Amino acid sequence: MPSLDDSTRGRILFGGDYNPEQWPEETWQEDVRLMKRAGVNSVTLGVFSWATIEPRPGAREFGWLDRLMDLMHANGIGVVLATPTSSPPPWMGSRHPETLPRDEQGQTVWWGSRQQFCASSPTYRAYAAAITEDLAARYAGHPALTMWHINNEYCTHCWCDETARHFRRWLRTKYGALDALNEAWGTAFWSQRYDAWEEIIPPRRAQYMRNPAHTLDFKRFTSDALMECYIAERDIVARHTPHIPVTTNFMPLWSGQDAWRWAEQEDVVSVDIYPDPKDPLGGQYNAMLGDMTRSQARGPWVVMEQAAGAVNWRGVNHPKPPGLNRLWSLQSVAHGADAVCYFQWRQSRQGAEKFHSGMLTHAGEDGRTFKETSRIGSELARLSPHVAGSRISADIAVLHDWGSWWAGQQDGRLSTQLDYTEVVRAWHRALWESGRTTDFAHPEHDLTGYRLVVVPHLYLLTDAAIDNLLSYVRGGGTLVCGFLTGVADEDDRVRAGGMDARLRELLGIGTVHEWWPLDADESVECEGFLGTLWSEEFEPAGGEVVAAYRGGELDGLPAVVRNGRAWYVSTLPESDALRALLGRIADDAGAAPVLAGLPGGVEAVRRGELLFLLNHSREAVTVQVPGSHQELLTGERVSAGLTLERYGVAVLSRTTP
């Protein structure tokens, strides 16, 4: 199977989405000149080119793309070639209205923007396959081609009648018999029993709360339905070019795609990352997505898109202050990226994204953004021979599962304040701030290589996942579980006692009498810290109470329990407390920080033989590093101390032990 190495060939890829069809051809020459100046070695072509290639059904206009592919090759720039299937031309919806998605209310989602396709539509799929086939046949032997990029951020959801038929086929495969489905969905409740498959529809707008097991299966189905579209196109391009790796760019931590399952279907895992430049924890968010994507890739991965400056889809869109683009780009490399790419090369002057930054903004080549981007290009070229292909090893895994996320976000839940991604982020943040590098893992993955496994919050755990956690701890691992974990089984059926009995025994806790979610601005006092978001009423059963609730209705009951190497944290401790708690447990488990004694805001990551130091603060800081090193960006020798400017980065290669 091809891999990212086949695209990078020892370099870090640097470049971005290139949409030259938006510009007259004279501009292309200018683009190439500036790309070379900026150190661009890779562009992604064709992402939204469907209407240009196929202006009317069955037509093919490849001439412009031929010229571009040749131009890129002549200038030593590789092409990540996209299938254009994420944005069907207006003729498709106009001639074949059944290709247009319907929302939960049955309303049509029209053309005029992008991504208006129904994943279940045979007509859409046939057109997508045909253009993919012709594109692959035409460019299979082209020397500029380095990677295939299938579609773009698969994210459409549809509730139409075709989707209903497709959903029923999916359910028949899963359950075989209707009785099994009725049992799994608990349809005895509210008279929801299905008597025939034809009665089953996607969970559309209804009078009151919908059946959560039904909506959970629909989310699983939708991820799979989109993945079928991906696989169909992947198989076409792979038939033409078995040696060229294939990817599709994920939206990170997005609920629509089970990225663990999708990643298994990709040669290269790529992701689009857009931290808010105004977010003081944007660096942590960037780190988290890097850790997650690296774990899905099980090795080097691709930043397919990021912004050189502002995006234009937040309420208020902030530019990146000087240094931040560079910091986050190098941070992604530190976290295992072998490609740093942007949306997009040249900022559009028309259309909905004319205020979204590009590597080359409206300010042109004298603009600050272009200068800064060019600096990143030259620095990545310098780092490439030292870093490309190298690996990261982590002692800690954070467990994350789309199925549990979906199940937890249903109608009729205990608290709408509970945002799954925020809880995952809080736990990752605690470990990140304590200076430790983490992987992510699925609860059924092999965990034996980790010293510490943390479960921020997995409401749904399958039997297999519970077996996995039990044997992990039995085998010597340390496990920390956050609140509301192990409550539901695979079908979203609540387990007796409020949490799986074997898990309770492992954690040393008794029956959960009640869950006590907290209001948005509420906190609960615990011994030594404040808990937020959640609390629980249970008694210890064999476990030692590390901290009890103080005051309030839960006074004296356990908040944090420890049973040997298994811990249960029944609230979300404030950030300082969570950091201290997880830091202490990690120390005991032998999962040490990368570098001790770092000043606040400085992150250290080891990748291969290199030590990356990243200053996320706006003040210059001095860092002590034992041993002698060479700093690869400046070539300077470093022994003992070094100063990192605001948003500064150092990449150290050891010269003496």
Select 352 or 501, whichever has its Cβ closest to ligand GAL: 352
Q: Among residues 152 and 223, whose Cβ is nearest to ligand GAL? A: 152
272 binds, among Zn ion, ligand GAL, none (CB under 5 to 8 A by kind): ligand GAL
Q: CB under 5 A: which stretch of 45-53, 114-122, 142-150, 501-509 binds Zn ion? A: 114-122
Residue nearer to ligand GAL on the CB measure, 117 or 343: 343
How many residues touch Zn ion (CB under 5 A)?
5
> How many CB atoms are closer than 10 A to CB 51?
17
Contact by Cβ (8 Å): 578, 426: yes
Q: Report in angstroms how near the CB of residue 571 gets to ligand GAL at its nearest.
A: 35
Contact code string over 203-242 relative to Zn ion, x by CB under 5 A: ----------------------------------------
**Please, what is the angle between helix 161-175 and helix 178-185, to 10°?**
100
* Residue 234 amino acid letter: R
When CB distances are held under 5 to 8 angstroms depending on the partner's kind, the choice from ligand GAL, Zn ion, none that residue 305 binds is ligand GAL
State which amino acid sits at residue 625. Answer: V
Residue whose Cβ sits closest to ligand GAL: 343
* Contact residue for Zn ion among 12, 109, 160, 268 (CB under 5 A): 160
C-beta of 218: minimal distance to Zn ion in Å?
A: 12
Torsion of CA 301, 307, 311, 317, to 10 degrees: 110
Distances in Å between the Cα of 472 and the Cα atoms of 265, 448, 451 are: 27, 6, 10
Residue 80 Cβ vs Zn ion, minimum distance, rounded to whole Å: 29
Q: From residue 252 to residue 291, what is the string marking binding to ligand GAL with x (rule CB under 6 A)?
A: --------------------x-x-----------------
The residues, ordered by sequence, that sit 6+ positions from 31 with a Cβ below 8 Å of its Cβ are: 18, 20, 23, 345, 346, 360
For the chain, the residue count is 657
Retrieve residue 66's tokens.
């031929």
- In angstroms, rounded to a whole number, what is the distance separating the alpha carbons of residues 227 and 224? 5
Q: Which distant-in-sequence residues (6+ apart) come within 8 Å of 219 by Cβ?
A: 255, 256, 406
> Cβ contacts of residue 352 below 8 Å, gap of 6+?
113, 312
Q: Any contact of residue 359 with ligand GAL (CB under 6 A)?
A: no
- CB nearer ligand GAL, residue 68 or residue 251: 251
Q: Cβ(615)–Cβ(644) under 8 Å? A: yes
- Min dist. Cβ of residue 159 to Zn ion (A): 7
Question: Which residue among 311, 506, 559, 595 contacts ligand GAL (CB under 6 A)?
Answer: 311
- The SS3 call for residue 486 is coil
Q: What residue is closest to Zn ion based on CB?
A: 118
Query: 153 contacts which partner out of ligand GAL, Zn ion, none, CB within 5 to 8 A by kind?
Result: ligand GAL
Decide whether 160 or 577 has the Cβ nearer to Zn ion.
Answer: 160
**Residue 356 touches which of Zn ion, ligand GAL, none (CB < 5 to 8 A by kind)?**
ligand GAL
Q: Give 103 or 353: the residue with its C-beta nearer to ligand GAL.
A: 353
In 3D space, the residue among 302, 318, 590, 291 whose CA is nearest the CA of residue 429 turns out to be: 291
According to the binding rule CB under 6 A, does residue 152 interact with ligand GAL?
Answer: yes
Euclidean distance between CA atoms 126 and 98, whole angstroms: 13
Q: Which of 111/221 has CB closer to ligand GAL?
A: 111
The answer to whether residue 158 forms part of the interface with Zn ion (CB under 5 A) is yes
Taking the chain, what is the end-to-end CA distance rounded to the nearest angstrom?
38
Q: Which is nearer to ligand GAL, 312 or 393 (CB)?
A: 312
Question: Catalytic residue at 153?
Answer: yes
By the 10 Å C-beta count (0-12 exposed, 13-18 middle, 19+ buried), 124 is classed as buried
CB 536 within 8 A of CB 571: yes
Q: How far is the CB of 122 from Zn ion (least distance, A)?
A: 11
Measured CA angle at 444 (ends 594, 1), to 5 deg: 80
Q: Does 536 bind ligand GAL (CB under 6 A)?
A: no
Q: Which residues pair with 561 in a beta bridge?
A: 545, 568
The least distance separating ligand GAL from the CB of residue 156, rounded to whole angstroms, comes to: 13
Which CB sits closer to Zn ion, 228 or 631?
228
Active-site hit among 162, 233, 266, 305: 305
Q: Closest approach of Cβ 117 to ligand GAL, in Å?
A: 15
Q: Taking CB under 6 A as the rule, does residue 308 contact ligand GAL?
A: no
Clarify whether 228 is annotated catalytic.
no
Neighbour tally for 309: CB within 10 Å: 25
Minimum CB–partner distance for residue 165 and Zn ion (Å): 10
Instruction: List the alpha helices (DSSP H) in 343-442.
Output: 368-387, 402-408, 420-433
Query: What are the CB-based long-range contacts (under 8 Å, 24+) for 63-69?
Result: 64/21, 64/25, 65/139, 66/138, 67/25, 68/20, 68/28, 69/45, 69/139, 69/142, 69/144, 69/145
User: Is residue 137 within 8 Å of 83, Cβ to Cβ?
Assistant: no
Contacted by 343, from Zn ion, ligand GAL, none: CB < 5 to 8 Å by type:
ligand GAL
Instruction: Output the smallest distance, CB 3 to ligand GAL, in A.
Output: 23
Write the DSSP assignment of 551-594 as a string of letters. Answer: SSTTTTSEEEEEETTEEEE-SEE-HHHHHHHHHHHHHHHT---S
For residue 163, the partner it binds in Zn ion, ligand GAL, none, with Cβ less than 5 to 8 A by kind, is: Zn ion
Which of 54, 153, 266, 372 is catalytic? The answer is: 153
Classified as helix, coil or strand, 245 is: coil
| Nearer residue to ligand GAL within complex by CB, 67 or 354 | 354
Binder of ligand GAL out of 328, 343, 427, 459 (CB under 6 A)? 343
Which of Zn ion, ligand GAL, none does residue 379 bind to, with CB < 5 to 8 Å depending on kind?
A: none
| Gap between the Cα atoms of 112 and 573, Å rounded | 46
Applying CB under 6 A, the residues found at the interface with ligand GAL are 152-153, 272, 274, 305, 311, 343, 353, 356
Applying CB under 5 A, the residues found at the interface with Zn ion are 118, 158, 160, 162-163
The residues annotated with a catalytic role in the active site are 153, 305
